Amino acid sequence: MTARILVVDDLEANRDMLSRRLRQQGHFVVTAASGHEALGWLRKNACDMVLLDLMMPEMDGYQVLQAIKAEQALLHLPVIMVSANDEMENVIKCIERGAEDYLPKPFNPVLLRARVEASLQKKRIYDREAQYQSELEQRVQAQVKEITSAQLAAIFAMSKLAESRDTETGAHLERMREYCRVLAQHLGKLEKYRKMLNAEFVEAIYAASPLHDIGKVGIPDHILLKAGKLNLAEWEVMKTHAVIGGNTLRAVDAQHPGNMLIRMGIDIAEGHHEKWDGSGYPNALRGESIPIAARILALADVYDALTSQRCYKKAFPHEEALQIISQGAGSHFDPEVAQAFLEIDSEFIRIRQHFKDCETSALLPASHIPHAMA
């Protein structure tokens, strides 16, 4: 089987002799007269093997070998050192540092063929295994993507089921995940959040954000759908939706641990009514003890409530919602999340316009008008 072999030697006679022998064996041969020339060619071209002279001026074979093995793209390229018998100590050093084999001078054609073929065979085995591993990883990734897509569909369907009990929400879930996505992406530009709010986090908060009110499935209809103001006892029941949501998802996590979407769903469901100053519920968390996903969603949730029409209020203009959120920075909202919102508020306008509510909620009879956002 033909291989592409690079012969590196500062002596032209040695290059010619090795090239002639290798071509007779059916290989394609390229030559280089120095280590620098060899490295430049290797970085631009595919190669199956290097025959590398040990003693060369400027950059000897040992230095060239080190440079080859230091580059990830060349790490598994087999290198056969070419050396005189009195250089064996240095050859051993090269073998210890990754050289595949050595070829003594003067060249023996039988030995040359045997050692080249043995090294090429190892390279072919490695290439086949690497290809198999790559194909396996692609199949696994495809399966993971399929599973993830199913998970996302299940999560959104479950959230929609909870939402169906609250007739005011319209395109609320679609807007929420878009709001959370753009906020997380913008916050991720800050040095403080660069590692935490990475692409994986952004995808996860987009997928998990619809779970924020999943706990409302546990709130009785006479409270969830009450047209008037809740009394104190009813309000205490309404507030339990954060605990119900967190506990429900925690039970899922116990059965299927390690799922990032569910873990983030727990943080969001349980923490999106916490406030930066500690006055929120259910656990009166304060500051950065509130999970960052919940802090992001809390702002998005309030913005959506403010700018949505309800039976008991008209939709606030964007500018008024912006002012309310700005005033709540440092008390209701994480000031950094609020600042991020102020810097990209035009994105919120775009999302609101794209995912508009239908107007049916304003036309519902009073007995079917749900209570305000809890």
For the chain, which residues make up each domain, given as ranges? 4-135, 165-368
pLDDT at 158 over 80: no
Mean local confidence (pLDDT), 351-374: 54
Lowest mean pLDDT among 12-16, 134-138, 334-338: 134-138
The CATH number assigned to the domain with range 165-368 reads: 1.10.3210.10
pLDDT bracket for residue 369 (50, 70, 90): very low
pLDDT bracket for residue 365 (50, 70, 90): very low
CA 300 from chain centre, in angstroms, equals 23
Rounded CA-CA distance 267/290 in Å is: 8
User: What is the pLDDT at residue 23?
Assistant: 94
SS3 labels along the chain: CCCEEEEECCCHHHHHHHHHHHHHCCCEEEEECCHHHHHHHHCCCCCCEEEEECCCCCCCHHHHHHHHHCCCCCCCCCEEEEEEHHHHHHHHHHHHCCCCEEEEECCCHHHHHHHHHHHHHHHHHHHHHHHHHHHHHHHHHHHHHHHHHHHHHHHHHHHHHHHCCCCCCCCHHHHHHHHHHHHHHHHCCCHHHCCCCCHHHHHHHHHHHHHHHHHHHHCCHHHHCCCCCCCHHHHHHHHCHHHHHHHHHHHHHHHCCCCHHHHHHHHHHHHCCCCCCCCCCCCCCCHHHCCHHHHHHHHHHHHHHHCCCECCECCCCHHHHHHHHHHHECCCECHHHHHHHHHCHHHHHHHHHHCCCCHHHHHCCHHHCCCCCC
pLDDT at 101 over 80: yes
Mean local confidence (pLDDT), 72-80: 91
User: What is the pLDDT at residue 259?
Assistant: 77
Rounded CA-CA distance 207/209 in Å is: 6
pLDDT tens per residue across span 237-276: 999 999 988 888 888 778 777 778 888 999 999 999 999 9
pLDDT tens per residue across span 12-63: 999 999 999 999 999 999 999 999 999 999 999 999 999 999 889 889 998 9
pLDDT at 360 over 50: no
Rounded CA-CA distance 154/341 in Å is: 29
For domain 4-135, give the CATH superfamily. Response regulator (3.40.50.2300)
pLDDT tens per residue across span 103-113: 888 888 899 99
Rounded CA-CA distance 256/258 in Å is: 7
| Amino acid identity at 347 | E
Q: Are 296 and 205 in contact (CB under 8 A)?
A: yes
287: nearest Cα among 324, 242, 333? 333
Q: Are 304 and 180 in contact (CB under 8 A)?
A: no
Rounded CA-CA distance 289/302 in Å is: 20
Rounded CA-CA distance 124/102 in Å is: 19
User: What is the pLDDT at residue 214?
Assistant: 84
pLDDT at 366 over 50: no
User: What is the pLDDT at residue 143?
Assistant: 53
Cα 61–Cα 102–Cα 109 angle in degrees, nearest 5: 120
